[in-house]
Amino acid sequence: MSLSGISAIFWDVGGVLLSNAWDHEERRQALQQFALDEVEFESRHEMLVSSFERGKISLQEYLERTIFYRPRSFTLEAFEQYMYSLSQADPQTLQLARELSKSCKYLMSTINNESKELNLFRIQTFGLREIFNLFVSSCFVGLRKPEEGIYRLALEITQRPPEECCFIDDRPLNLDSASRLGMHVIRMENAEQLRQELQKLGVVA
């Protein structure tokens, strides 16, 4: 354990290290790009998103049921590629995570909600395996934030007491569940603010 008392740092991915994978803004861009009806799509999305992010249905099945349930002027593959293209890095936050990982002082893990195909694409594309020891992703564990179970699972897998853990997320509701379990929490605003908040907890590379 480091001198700070923090031995593990758990990170959200979308909205912290990277842009969101398939949140409302990404969906809006895609619907505009392909001239799709937002109300019609969102009603189908809401019915499927839990299964999609828990890894119960594939990306192809999700798209077949939200978009390709009738003929389109574009292919499923073209839509998939556009979805992947929406993912962008936050270079400063990724650099901070790399520094902390290279220090070897902390167990580094994600706790994130993402569908399997997008999650694997982002892990590979942005070199996240080089940073994190563990990926507690909704699509792998069948649980989603802000359900308390996903945080409990992360603590049980890593065998870390909550008071030695820090969880970083950009959404207050997700932070509440971790805080109730006794974890330290930081709401991500930007890379410099995050660095300062971590330093207050004694977390430095």
3 state SS for 19-36: CCCCCHHHHHHHHHHCCC
For residue 77, give its domain range: 24-85
pLDDT (tens digit per residue) in 131-179: 999 999 999 999 999 999 999 999 999 999 999 999 999 999 999 999 9
Q: What's the mean pLDDT in 18-37?
A: 97
Confidence label for 26 from pLDDT (cuts 50, 70 and 90) = very high
Res 1: pLDDT: 47
Last residue of a domain, one of 60, 85, 110: 85
pLDDT (tens digit per residue) in 106-139: 999 999 999 999 999 999 999 999 999 999 999 9
Q: What are the distances in angstroms from CA 197 to CA 103, 143, 166?
A: 18, 28, 11
123 and 185 in a single domain? The answer is yes
Please report the beta strands in the chain, taking only residues with DSSP state E, as ranges in sequence order.
8-11, 107-112, 134-137, 165-169, 184-187
Number of domains within the chain? 2
Last residue of a domain, one of 69, 85, 101: 85
Q: What's the mean pLDDT in 9-21?
A: 98
190 in any annotated domain: yes
181 and 196 in a single domain? The answer is yes
pLDDT (tens digit per residue) in 39-62: 999 999 999 999 999 999 999 999
* 107-125 exposure pattern, b = at least 16 Cβ within 10 A, e = fewer: bbbbbbbbbbbbbebbbee
97 and 186 in a single domain? The answer is yes
Res 3: pLDDT: 54
165 and 95 in a single domain? The answer is yes
